[in-house]
Amino acid sequence: MKETKLWINGQWQNAEVTYELKSPYSGEVIAKVAKASISDVEQAIEGAQEAFQTFKKTTAYERAEILYRVVDIMRQRKEELAEILALEASKPISAGLTEIERTIATYQFAAEGAKQAKGETVPMDAAPGAGDRIGWTKREPLGVISAITPFNFPFNLVAHKLGPAFAVGNTVVLKPANQTPLSAIVLAEIFKEAGLPDGALQIVTGSGGELSDTLVTHPYVKKVTFTGSGKVGLGIKEKVGLRKVTLELGSNAALIVEPS
């Protein structure tokens, strides 16, 4: 049986507690997953903050090349990655392969976007005495991003958070859904092989209810990105304060199906 660890500062780290991961299809236990503590999350955030001091200085070319290498590695391993989806999410292999292809495209978009971030010039002559002046803006990375992801598309929705963050020089602490941690954990070795600096990606698995306060309110966290339920998203919004936040929340929409 697979036993997982936490990915902190470029190394696998044991947790004091684990939980059993069961197949949604058969109910059998398929892994024992490390359950991070609050101190583990604090260590991950502090490590991401330290890594950010170096990673923010990398060039757009270097960040794009890391993401292109992720694309290449995932293409080589797509059948294996689809099997992980089948194991932890009970997706048919065909659906899993479709998600992996979409995930590859997401990282490719991020790689291309790494070279497109730019500011703008601002004419200053609207104010008196400033006719010979211009201003200009430059985009800068924020810092540490807390990313909390759901179970339904565990590769692609993680990619929606990791890809853009790394493209512009941010570091990320990732907390995947309890049911689908294996797809996040395999990304540690993929990004390591692709050349992402140690500490730029931290992966902490465990209870969102126990860990979310630290992930949302730690002073080093500059942005929170969450995909999940409206109720949890509202709770995050109430706690996040002046930090930036992106919420992708689920909803129920009425539908009428007419006969053909």
Q: What CATH number is attached to the domain comprising 12?
A: 3.40.605.10
| Inside any domain, residue 100 | yes
CB 141 within 8 A of CB 170: yes
Per-residue pLDDT, averaged over 143-169, amounts to 97
Q: Indicate whether 56 pLDDT > 80.
A: yes
Q: Indicate whether 250 pLDDT > 90.
A: no
* Residue 108 lies in domain: 2-115+140-249
Measured distance CA(196)–CA(164) in Å, rounded: 14
Q: How confident is the model at residue 123 (pLDDT cuts 50, 70, 90)?
A: confident
| Inside any domain, residue 236 | yes
| Inside any domain, residue 125 | no
**Residue 152 CB-density burial (10 A; 0-12 exposed, 13-18 middle, 19+ buried):** middle
| Inside any domain, residue 123 | no
Would you state the pLDDT for residue 32?
96
pTM: 0.91
The residue with tokens 């398929």 is 30
Instruction: Kindly state the helix (H) or strand (E) to which residue 8 belongs, with its residue range.
Output: strand 6-8
Arithmetic mean of pLDDT over the chain: 95
Percent of the chain with pLDDT over 70: 100
Would you state the pLDDT for residue 4?
96
Strand partners, 2: 31
Per-residue pLDDT, averaged over 157-179, amounts to 97
| Inside any domain, residue 120 | no
Give per-residue pLDDT as tens, 191-241: 999 999 999 999 999 998 899 999 999 999 999 999 999 899 999 999 999
Query: How many domains does the chain contain in total?
Result: 1
